[in-house]
Amino acid sequence: MNSAIENRGYPLKRLFDIGMSAGVLAAASPLLLGSMFAVWLQDYHSPFYKAPRVARGGGNFTMMKVRSMVVNAAKSGVNSTGADDRRITAVGHFIRRWKIDELSQFLNVLAGSMSVVGPRPQVRHWGVDLYTDQEMQLLSVRPGITDLASIVFSDEGDILAGAPHADLEYNRVIRPWKSRLGLFYVDNMSLALDLRIVWLTFLAIIDKRAALNGVAAILERRGAEPMLIDVCRREQPLPAYPPPGADAIETGASAGYGV
């Protein structure tokens, strides 16, 4: 593990995580339990999907998700999911549309393997295994349920829909910007920023444009690079670009990045 990876945060972050998770689980329990029952009714299999993910520091943990796909969908070997993915069930489309699969992850937050706000947890194959040294800094904090990238790319399934190779397309046009947003968070994390991100996450459900403007405002105030701010406004098609820490010419030649 890179010696530069260290535990980062702020004094009240764990208390914030516990308090918010307990409140959300209590308030959302009828919706969560109803969704779990609907998933079970469609095929009489477990309503949970136990997703293996990379933890803070580079280890492994199991992320709990309300299952939105057919049983054994992970055996296909494809990690990224387009909105037109045939593995998504009828109930699963509803679960994904309203982010119900994220609610069960508050159990991970209570257990301490995740935080409410932080870079989204990644798989190892076609995920962390491809990280540059700079991207490895994303593992210096607990992975989160939401972050700036979750707001900007809340339509990730639509972005990847129709792609011949969803994982490759993800690494070309989403990963470069998602990683940059994650690194921005690691460098600027605070309770105030976490509260702002939580608010924008809820706002994105009813007014995505207002939420995107909110993300752009955060980046502008804290001196983020102009290209990242432009991408986060989502007014133009997402440009393919090398991930942070990668050589632009080498990466573009070997992985098909549009540089």
Backbone angles phi, psi at 128, to 5 degrees: -60, -30
Q: What is the pLDDT of residues 133-173, one digit of tens each?
A: 999 999 999 999 999 999 999 999 899 988 889 889 999 99
Q: Which residue has the higher pLDDT, 239 or 6?
A: 239
Best-predicted range by mean pLDDT (29-33, 81-85, 195-199): 195-199
* pLDDT for res 127: 93
Q: Which residue has the higher pLDDT, 68 or 128?
A: 128
Q: What is the pLDDT of residues 60-113, one digit of tens each?
A: 999 999 998 887 766 554 555 555 677 888 888 888 878 888 899 999 999 999
Angle formed at CA 14 by CA 25 and CA 22, multiple of 5 degrees:
15
Structure tokens at 163: 């792609």
Answer for the pair 181, 149: CB distance below 8 angstroms, yes or no: yes
Answer for the pair 39, 70: CB distance below 8 angstroms, yes or no: no
Between the CA atoms of 163, 164, 170 and 173, what dihedral angle is there, to the nearest 10 degrees? -60
Q: What is the pLDDT of residues 217-252, one digit of tens each?
A: 999 999 999 999 999 999 999 999 999 999 653 444
> Rounded distance, CA 42 to CA 222, Å?
47
Q: What is the pTM of this model?
A: 0.85
* pLDDT for res 3: 47
Average pLDDT of 173-183?
98
Q: Residue 255 — very low, low, confident or very high, per pLDDT cuts 50/70/90?
A: very low
Report how far Cα 99 is from the mean position of its chain's Cα atoms.
12
* pLDDT for res 124: 95
Q: Which residue spans within 67-156 are E strands per DSSP? A: 115-117, 144-146
Lowest mean pLDDT among 23-27, 86-90, 164-168, 194-198: 86-90
For residue 148, the tally of other CB atoms under 10 A from its CB is: 29
* pLDDT for res 5: 58
* pLDDT for res 250: 41
